[in-house]
Amino acid sequence: MKNSPADFWNDRFNNEEFVYGTQPNAFFKEELDKLKAGTLLLPAEGEGRNAVYAATKNWTVSAFDISQSGKEKALLLFKQNNVSIAYDIVDVLDYTSNEKFDAIGLCYTHFPIDIRKQANPYLLKFLKKGGVVIFEAFSKSQLKNNSGGPKNEAMLFSLEVIRQEFKGLEFKILEEKTIELSEGKFHRGKADVIRFVGIKK
């Protein structure tokens, strides 16, 4: 029987090491620092590194993931950094909130293709008009690299896919580029990524 995505992530996070490190994603940090602190949603937040950084910068953070072991690691990191963050275990399409957020951070949220096509437009419902999405994930060119990410091309991004799945955003930055990743043991080395900053119209 094929393991579920939750099984995969529970297994990956189920050790003492923070497998993507404890520091925030560099692009997320750089762009978040340009914004006035408010409310932030972090889907697929895993071990909590981006949530902790945002909370230390006075953001009110809500996070979720499908992995119980990811949440347990995140709670440990929250405690170590003396921050308080709401963290739910929920599938992305089952997530709900009465809140409209000032920003959403999407860092390497590679959902299975059938979920992703629904998930990205769905998440935008929780963003205020004028709210900001900060996004970084692997592009389809990443398949040739060994620095991380799914080995399934359908789960990787292109600029065209971004424009299709994030309609309703005005892109301040939208680029595909090669970077050097240093995020724990699973994101390390030369990587092809797509990044954007989008404002909800």
Instruction: Please name the residues in contact with 163: beta carbons below 8 A apart, sequence gap of 6 or more.
Output: none
Domain ranges, ordered by start, for the chain:
5-200
pLDDT of residue 4: 87
Enter the pTM of the model. 0.95
Residues in the chain: 201
Q: Which two tokens stand for residue 87?
A: 């963290």
Beta-carbon count within 10 A of 160 CB = 8
CATH 1.25.60.10 corresponds to the domain 5-200: no
Task: Tell me the per-residue pLDDT of 16-63, one tens digit each, with 9 for 90 and over.
Answer: 889 899 999 999 999 999 999 999 999 999 999 999 999 999 999 999
Task: Tell me the per-residue pLDDT of 92-117, one tens digit each, with 9 for 90 and over.
Answer: 999 999 999 999 999 999 999 999 99
Beta-carbon count within 10 A of 61 CB = 26
In angstroms, the CA 59 to CA 166 distance is 24
In angstroms, the CA 40 to CA 175 distance is 23
**DSSP code of 157?**
B
